[in-house]
Chain A
Amino acid sequence: MSGAAAAARQAFAPNWGARLGLLALAVYAVFAATQLDLNWARLAAGFGEGGRFLARMFPPNFTRWELLLEGMLESLQIAALASALGILISLPLGLMAARNLSPWFIAVPTRAFIALCRSLHYVIVAILFVKALGFGALAGVAALTIASMGFIAKLFAEAIEEISMKPVEAVRAAGAPGASVLLYAVLPQVASRFVGFCLYQLDSNLRNSTLVGIVGAGGIGGTLFAAFKRFDYDFVCAILLTIIALIFLAEVVSGRVRAALR
């Protein structure tokens, strides 16, 4: 290397591409903020309102605890049933969607179906089921079952596609029927990951089941939304604290179960 080049070489040279990118991002942020009608006056007004809102939330009001308990229990039931149904349906769906086990004319449509289940937000699915099944917990169960199917079946299919095919070939070569191939060659390789997906989905069903009530699909969400609409912010605070406590508890329990199963 010549002396001039060495002198020109600079430690920690500025990265002009990254700086331009950051500038573009900042310009976009300002543009989007004006498009969405976000400005300082509005933010300042909002922070004033936020203070009043917080003041009305405290202290939380637990006097209507019966209503709260009823809603929470219904949310728990929705989560339990939706997880169970979703897991049961995901088992065959995942097997059908795995490209190394099933022929393409089964795998491709199953994959498309799973993608469809995943792409719509569970609240939108809940709206459609409220129309089809009427108000109540059943619509919530159906909506969360669809969401669980989309998540578990997709990950399960991906896990199956990563298995080693040697045990499958060995069991097939020994003349075992299809069910035995699944039971003794495929499932032992993916069982622990499947349980992991199921626990994760149970966790998120628990969170989501507290929400589907906003569109009338049962659970504590309906109570929460009604309390918001009636400006009962102290009751809202009580409901939110209960939900957060439940989710904390669920995280602790599912962590324990995961450790025990490992």
Chain B
Amino acid sequence: MSATSIPDPAAPLRREWRRFTPAQRLSRWLVWLVVVAALAWAVRSIDIIPEFLADAPEQMADLLVRMWPPDLAHYYPAVHAALIETLHIATLGTILAFALAVPVALLAARNVCPLRPLNVLAQFILVASRSVNSLVWALIFVAIFGPGAAAGTFAIAFRSVGFVGKLLSEALEETAPGPAEALRAAGAPWGAVMLKGFWPQVQPAFWGVALFRWDINVRESAVLGLVGAGGIGVVLDDAINYFQWDRVATVLLAILAVVVVAEVVVTRIRARLI
């Protein structure tokens, strides 16, 4: 017999290997096509004024020259008081958010609240809170409470409810059922089951979420004043409207310092706590 009938042992090596099935390749190409088409559409139809683009470097240089040197004398007392107010807004807003979010999270967690319609309602509240931006919440609360820190506090709280509630309800759903079942079997009332069965298991997540959200809220509360909701944003808005760019620089430096300090504090506490 001839050698041709013997199968070539190297044939599998010469086979062409492909990582994806044709359907997968097609869908990947479709995603890329959509991305490119969207970008092309955006570039072609976005409203850009060429004159503005041409003198952008000049304007940027002008802005920096006007900002330098920062008017540090302006810091005390006006900026300082506003900065303290911002911190109060962020902290009080976070506390209020937790007060509102804990009941909603309990309703949203399927192992705590067995009623399906209540779960869905709580989920809806959480999603609605998250999809409205904090500045929009601030606009709404300025219309309700009038300009001032009250509006800012409520805006921060209502925006945080969705975030905090979602993470807390997920933490609740991930708890082991054993301790709660043992307590129920021993005849413990609902409060005791919550406090001794669930709370010890969600405690690390709770403090982690609280610190994380406080850090975010410090950043967000700094801009709420732009729509009149109190804090350092009001001072910033005034300085911008009067074109006092050296004061703007002072305010920006103050915000930057507070944000950095808040981040360092949160990292320290987290390292010690968790």
Contact = CB atoms under 8 A, between A and B. Distances in A.
Interface of A: 12, 25, 28-29, 32-33, 35-38, 42-43, 45-47, 49-50, 53, 73-74, 76-78, 80-81, 84, 119-121, 123-124, 127-128, 131-134, 136-138, 141, 207-208, 210-211, 214-215, 218, 224-225, 228, 233, 240, 243-244, 247-248, 257, 260-261
Contacts of B59: 131-134
A247 B230 CA distance: 28
Provide the main secondary structure of the chain B interface. helix
Most buried by A among B39, B63, B223, B252: B223
B166 interface: no
Given A32-B88, A37-B150, A74-B46, A124 B255 contact: yes
Contact of B31 (A29, A42, A257): A257
B64 to A, nearest CB: 9
A207 B136 CA distance: 11
B260 A119 contact: yes
B27 interface: yes
A84 B46 CA distance: 14
Provide the main secondary structure of the chain A interface. helix
B1 interface: no
Contacts of A53: 140, 143-144
Contacts of B48: 136-138
5 contacts: A35-B84, A42-B145, A42-B150, A77-B41, A78-B46
B13 interface: no
Contacts, number: 146
B120 interface: no
Given A121-B223, A124-B223, A210-B133, A36 B92 contact: yes
Interface string B15-44: 000000000000110010000001101110
B135 A123 contact: yes
A49 B42 contact: no
B95 interface: yes
Given A53-B140, A138-B48, A211-B133, A133 B56 contact: yes
B46 A243 contact: no
A211 B135 contact: yes
B4 interface: no
B167 interface: no
Contacts of A260: 27-28, 31
Given A81-B39, A137-B47, A207 B131 contact: yes
How many interface residues does chain B have, given as a range? Answer: 35 or more
Contact of B91 (A32, A49, A240): A32
B46 A240 contact: no
B107 interface: no
B45 A77 contact: yes
Interface string B212-230: 0000000110110011001
Contacts of A244: 128, 131-132
Interface string B187-228: 000000000100000000000000000000001101100110
Given A120-B252, A133-B59, A214-B227, 9 more contacts: A33-B92, A36-B150, A49-B144, A73-B45, A128-B63, A131-B63, A136-B48, A211-B136, A225-B227
B91 A81 contact: no
Nearest to A85: B39
A36 B133 contact: no
B85 interface: yes
B88 A132 contact: no
A18 B128 CA distance: 33
Nearest to B133: A211
Contact of A37 (B133, B148, B226): B148
A260 to B, nearest CB: 6
B84 to A, nearest CB: 8
B10 interface: no
A33 B96 CA distance: 11
Most buried by B among A124, A128, A133: A124
